[in-house]
Amino acid sequence: MGVDEPDDEREDEHEEAEPDVGGDAKKKKPRKKKKKNKNKEADEPFELLEDGQPTASPFWTPAPEGEFGNGGFPPQNEDWVDVTCVCDLAVEGMQVGEMIESSHFRLYDAMSAIEIMDPKMDSGYNNSEDMTLEKAEETGIVSSNLANEDLVAIMDQLLMYYLLWMEGHTIIQTCFCCLYLQDPARLLKPMPAFGAFVDAFLASCRRARDAVIRAGVFDDEDFLPTMFGTDLEVCVFSSDPNEVQKRLAAERSSLKKTGGAAAEAVADRLEFMGGYMLALVDLLDAGPVKVKGSDGKLASSRPASAADQLTNCLGLLERMEQSSVGSASSEALRCFDPSINRKLLVPGPPRTVEPIQDPKVVFGMWTSHVHELTLCTSLHQRQMSEMLQGCVTFKDQPNILPRSVAQICVSEPGLARRLMLDSMEQHLFPVEALQHCKKIAEPFVARCESLFLHLLKLAHSNNSRRFRRLAHVFADFNELQHEAWQLDEVLKTTFGANLRHARPCWVWIMEHCLQSMIDKLLLGFQLELYDEAELHMIYWYVDYLHGLRIYNLNELCYAKEQSQSAAGKKKPASAQRKDQAPGPRAVNKPRNPPAALLLLEATQSAVRGLFRLLAFCLSQGLLRSPPASEDGLAQRFVLRFRSFEHFRLPHLPSYQDFELSAVTAQAPVEGRSVLAAAQTSFLEAAQLLERVGAASKDGESRCDRRLPDDAKSLKKVVVANLLVVTQLLRSWDDGEELRGKKQVNVETLHHPSLVSLQVVPFKSKSRE
């Protein structure tokens, strides 16, 4: 489990070139992905003959080039002879299990053969039973006059299939399994309300698909953009969103006059679809409309308009859930038949798409989807650090459309640079340096912009891709670290005592690099890559990285406080020399640290507590990890942290460093001390979390929207693990034997990357 990082990391080294935004975008040639090791027998189904070339003979016809190697199959003018009798005669003389086979036959390859007439494997099986439009019209499955109740059911089903399409299923097995969409212009013109809904639906599908392709942050498992020959450009009345919206409004007025619960339900759905379509138009269509804000600056009005539409959609979803027909609509839903598109699928095991039956689940998913899109409307107000964590919350992946929309929004020209400069300014970088030290500052900023655009794109990729690709950014960070150091020297010379912090650029680069390292490590928890035996090792490293971050941020916040409090007062020369003197010195801590820094310190304490607690559990045999995992820790250390070696840290932790800490933590005689130390760490974390709440009220912390949720989940982790420590301490003090009597379950229950432990009675493996 999880010990295959090198192959994963090497897989994507080729990346297509990032758009050149004025920096040095590294252009790499795409190269073939390395194949993972497979059984040699399975590498090629056909072995070449002895001379390395397939020879033509009456009995072996090398497959010509073409689809499946069959340029001319099936033979058109072949003269066929019936050999059935010979087959039967041969079979009579064969024993059970006996085969007549080609000399190139391999049983291993035969296992992957598709079985004809198997309903799951043979996509052509019972093809005569596939639905056709003619059959549907003859049997009344499609109609030119639908009752409002049926319309509600069909619209809800289309909305459900849209979500399934967004989850990675093919469009022909989801949205386009609706028979009305096979010829919408003809079938839906007699039903203008349904026609208007479908126009809005298809307009949304077009934009969604374009957005996902344009953003380029999807993988195969996230989304399938292939259309399989279907046409998304079709429409019933119009494909112009404004025209569609007008028609929807007209139909809604007409339905209101009709009255009745069903008519109202249809009207709600028309309004929802129109609102959703317009929100996508606002978010994605080119050319943001600029309006002057209250501060006199030009700002785009499109995100605000999209936010209004999506907020309205959220309200409509609640009403739609109440008016959904649910299971009473099976008759109306006969117009959804995936078999109509079966011939469009490639031969092979058909992936059947199970529709979601429960309307509550469907509308819950829609609510989550719309909420995630709403987050994308406020991206311009976010800070760089928040953006690099991903602007959308990644709940229920793949979540591909909100991620793609977010990526498109942050790719807006100039936005990344603006965010970067804001972030640098917060790290006390003097913005005037862009003019006064232009020669060195401008290229540095340009190279940073290139890297940060890449990081922003990674932030919107799925977790797997992010985990793999983050391994390759540290070399770039290392180069920037050196450039930042040189730039800081120039800043010192240029600005002298006016420079508020000795190393603003270097600290800024360090901060983002350390954050990326921590993100990479913690992503491993969400991807379930780690064995229980190595969790303490991961937390040990994370603790170290947190420590470096906290050190730098303390210095930074202290410098901010000093410059604010001493505004107008010049420091004595001795104090200035002390601030800028090289060599180790005590950390300057701010008097009123911001909430984000306090949360970071709390997290570090919790991580340290977890390291100690897990080390103790491992030493007492409370974790159910296989011996091989424990024995291979040294190799795992190299594997997990190898990519960090490309960046020069103040001290590069080695396995010996870890072993020293772990051995101390795991020493049998020190068991109680280790538990007590873990308890101390968790209590420290709890105290810091109390201070986070108080500090959250200041202006700077209010900008970080995730802070309250992060603090809440960290608190749950701390409380859960404190309970475990208390239980173990009690057992220890009572002289209770833990090994073989108790075990510990480890899960990321309350936090995506910090585990919560639970003490349970020991269960032997034979009993499981």
Partner 1 sequence: MSTSMESFASVTTGKESLAPVAEGQVKDSESAKGFMGQLMNTTVRIHISDGRIITGQLWCFDQLRNAILLNCHETRVSAGPDQHRPLGPLVMVPGKHILKFEASRSASEAAAAAKYQEGDGPAGE
Q: Which residues make up the interface to partner 1 (CB under 8 A)? A: 45, 58-61, 63, 67-70, 73-75, 78-105, 109-110, 112-117, 124-128, 343, 347-348
CA distances from 133 to 156, 315, 551, 725 (A): 21, 36, 69, 66
CA distance 527 to 548: 25
Q: Who's near 79: CB < 8 A, 6+ residues apart?
A: none
State the Rg of the chain over Cα.
Answer: 32
Let me know: does 337 contact 131? Beta carbons within 8 Å.
yes
Backbone dihedral angles phi then psi of residue 554, each to the nearest 5 degrees: -60, -45
Minimum distance between the CB of residue 108 and partner 1, rounded to whole angstroms? 11
CA distance 241 to 208: 14
| Smaller CB separation from partner 1, 101 or 358 | 101
Nearest alpha carbon to residue 150 among 180, 107, 171, 116: 180
Nearest alpha carbon to residue 561 among 519, 532, 592: 592
Minimum distance between the CB of residue 134 and partner 1, rounded to whole angstroms? 14
| Smaller CB separation from partner 1, 126 or 486 | 126
Minimum distance between the CB of residue 354 and partner 1, rounded to whole angstroms? 25
Q: Is 68 left (phi over 0), alpha (psi -120 to 50) or beta?
A: left
Strand 298-300, strand 756-761: pairing:
unpaired
Let me know: does 595 contact 696? Beta carbons within 8 Å.
yes
Three-point CA angle 660, 661, 666, nearest 5°? 100
DSSP 588: P
Minimum distance between the CB of residue 49 and partner 1, rounded to whole angstroms? 11
| Smaller CB separation from partner 1, 60 or 485 | 60
Among positive and negative, which fits the CA dihedral 687, 693, 696, 697?
negative
Minimum distance between the CB of residue 100 and partner 1, rounded to whole angstroms? 5
CA distance 680 to 687: 11
CA distance 646 to 520: 14
CA distance 491 to 428: 11
| Smaller CB separation from partner 1, 63 or 638 | 63
Amino acid at position 109, single letter:
D
Minimum distance between the CB of residue 129 and partner 1, rounded to whole angstroms? 10
| Smaller CB separation from partner 1, 31 or 59 | 59
Minimum distance between the CB of residue 4 and partner 1, rounded to whole angstroms? 28
Q: Report residue 673 as tokens.
A: 């001390």
Nearest alpha carbon to residue 278 among 195, 373, 362: 373
Q: Report residue 161 as tokens.
A: 């299939």
Strand 290-292, strand 298-300: pairing:
antiparallel
Let me know: does 615 contact 544? Beta carbons within 8 Å.
no
| Smaller CB separation from partner 1, 342 or 536 | 342
| Smaller CB separation from partner 1, 67 or 734 | 67
Nearest alpha carbon to residue 28 among 10, 8, 46, 44: 10
| Smaller CB separation from partner 1, 103 or 574 | 103
Backbone dihedral angles phi then psi of residue 757, each to the nearest 5 degrees: -100, 160
| Smaller CB separation from partner 1, 35 or 651 | 35
Minimum distance between the CB of residue 660 and partner 1, rounded to whole angstroms? 56
Mapping DSSP to helix (H, G, I), strand (E, B) and coil, where does residue 282 land? helix
Q: Where are the beta strands (DSSP E) in 430-576?
A: none
Q: Report residue 467 as tokens.
A: 């985990």
Mapping DSSP to helix (H, G, I), strand (E, B) and coil, where does residue 587 land? coil
Backbone dihedral angles phi then psi of residue 60, each to the nearest 5 degrees: -140, 110
Minimum distance between the CB of residue 119 and partner 1, rounded to whole angstroms? 12
CA distance 20 to 598: 38
Minimum distance between the CB of residue 81 and partner 1, rounded to whole angstroms? 5
DSSP 348: S
Minimum distance between the CB of residue 278 and partner 1, rounded to whole angstroms? 42
Minimum distance between the CB of residue 60 and partner 1, rounded to whole angstroms? 4
Minimum distance between the CB of residue 185 and partner 1, rounded to whole angstroms? 26
Minimum distance between the CB of residue 82 and partner 1, rounded to whole angstroms? 6
Give the CA count within 13 Å in the CB-facing half-sphere of 610. 34
Amino acid at position 148, single letter:
N
Minimum distance between the CB of residue 66 and partner 1, rounded to whole angstroms? 9
| Smaller CB separation from partner 1, 93 or 568 | 93
| Smaller CB separation from partner 1, 70 or 381 | 70
CA distance 223 to 376: 19
Q: Report residue 304 as tokens.
A: 């605000």
